[in-house]
């Protein structure tokens, strides 16, 4: 994740603060590899962890360890008056400062940090804080990677759908419902104009209407088609349509009956009433 982001995260402070190994002067990258001291529970670099794990701790004639329990090295050692553990001056100064060195040299009987772990509570708590923030960072990084993967899969699905749609269009198939509806309404308008046109014969009108019916998926259309076929058996109509047929209402299942013109009654029932006696 971006260490220079303006968003403050629980681990952001680790980008600004120096974090060092408790066993040597080396600086640690908490977002890379680091270890926890097996005894002191403080931070430890990879090199010190490997050095501490190799070899044996030997004792002197008095029974004290000849190596520092913190760094597993020699030097100026402070021996505990309650146990046989020893700690070097450099490790005490690095982790506890001059106050820790003064406490070791001034007291008549000195108790080490294993016998009294409260003396190293601060570096131990610091190590626990670092490990907790690193864990939160790893969880957030994993979630971010999951989101990126999901977005990548979504983009792939969208591209695949676009490719399929493009392939269908290239084969002459329309996948756009609005385009299909637009074309169907165009057919309807053309047929309505043909109904009003006296020069178009009945067979041509029937073929155009059949094409419209086949393009739609309305349940009422087969019945409409049968009515049209039965009318075709009676022969083509040569008379002008009496009224305009509303095909849109037919699609909803309503059968529109053309209105007949009211014919005026004959002035007389036979030729005798001609006005002559």
* Angstrom distance (rounded) from CA 23 to CA 91: 6
Residues 6 or more apart whose CB falls under 8 angstroms from that of 140 comprise 1, 9
C-alpha 234: how far from chain center: 64
Do residues 184 and 221 touch, judged by C-beta distance below 8 A? no
The CA distance from 233 to 239, in Å, is: 16
Mean pLDDT calculated for residue range 121-127: 93
Distance CA(13)–CA(133), nearest Å, equals 9
Per residue in 13-67, pLDDT tens?
A: 888 888 999 999 999 988 888 899 999 999 999 999 999 988 788 888 888 888 9
pLDDT band at 138 (very low <50, low <70, confident <90, very high): confident
Q: 219-275: per-residue pLDDT in tens?
A: 444 444 445 445 455 554 444 444 344 444 444 444 444 554 444 444 444 444 444
Beta-bridged to residue 59, according to DSSP, are: 65
By C-alpha distance, which of 123, 76, 70, 133 is closest to 101? 76
CA atoms of 247 and 236, how far apart (whole Å): 20
Q: Packing angle between helix 202-215 and helix 177-196, nearest 10 degrees?
A: 160
Q: Which residue has the higher pLDDT, 83 or 210?
A: 83
Q: Say if strands 77-79 and 43-44 run parallel, antiparallel, or are unpaired.
A: unpaired
User: pTM to 2 decimals?
Assistant: 0.51
pLDDT digits (tens, 9 = 90+) for 245-256: 444 444 444 444
Confidence band, pLDDT 50/70/90 cuts, at residue 112: very high
Nearest to 252 by CA among 222, 230, 220, 224: 220
Interatomic CA distance for residues 113 and 271, integer angstroms: 139
**What is the token pair recorded at 140?**
């957030």
Beta bridge partners of 20: 27
pLDDT tens digits, 171-217: 655 556 666 677 777 777 777 777 777 676 777 767 777 776 666 54
Measured distance CA(169)–CA(166) in Å, rounded: 5
| 14: helix, strand or coil | helix
Q: Judge whether 92 and 104 are in contact, CB under 8 Å.
A: yes
């Amino acid at each position: 994740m971006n260490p220079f982001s303006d968003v403050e995260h629980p681990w952001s402070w680790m980008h600004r603060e120096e974090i060092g190994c408790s066993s040597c002067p080396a600086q640690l990258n908490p977002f890379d590899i680091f270890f926890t001291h097996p005894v002191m529970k403080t931070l430890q670099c990879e090199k010190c962890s490997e050095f501490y794990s190799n070899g044996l701790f030997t004792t002197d004639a008095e029974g004290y360890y000849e190596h520092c329990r913190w760094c597993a090295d020699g030097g100026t050692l402070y021996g505990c008056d309650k146990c046989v553990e020893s700690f070097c001056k450099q490790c005490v100064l690095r982790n506890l400062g001059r106050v820790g060195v003064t406490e070791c040299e001034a007291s008549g009987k000195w108790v080490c940090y294993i016998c009294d772990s409260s003396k190293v509570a601060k570096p131990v708590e610091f190590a626990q804080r670092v490990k907790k923030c690193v864990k939160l960072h790893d969880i957030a990084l994993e979630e971010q990677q999951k989101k990126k993967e999901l977005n990548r899969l979504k983009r792939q699905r969208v591209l695949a759908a676009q490719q399929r749609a493009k392939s269908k269009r290239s084969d002459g198939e329309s996948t756009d419902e609005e385009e299909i509806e637009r074309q169907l309404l165009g057919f309807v308008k053309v047929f309505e104009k043909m109904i009003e046109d006296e020069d178009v014969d009945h067979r041509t009108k029937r073929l155009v209407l059949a094409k419209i019916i086949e393009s739609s998926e309305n349940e009422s259309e087969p019945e409409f088609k049968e009515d049209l076929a039965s009318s075709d058996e009676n022969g083509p109509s040569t008379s002008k349509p009496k009224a305009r047929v509303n095909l849109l209402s037919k699609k909803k299942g309503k059968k529109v009956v053309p209105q007949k013109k009211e014919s005026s009654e004959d002035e007389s029932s036979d030729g005798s009433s001609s006005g002559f006696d």
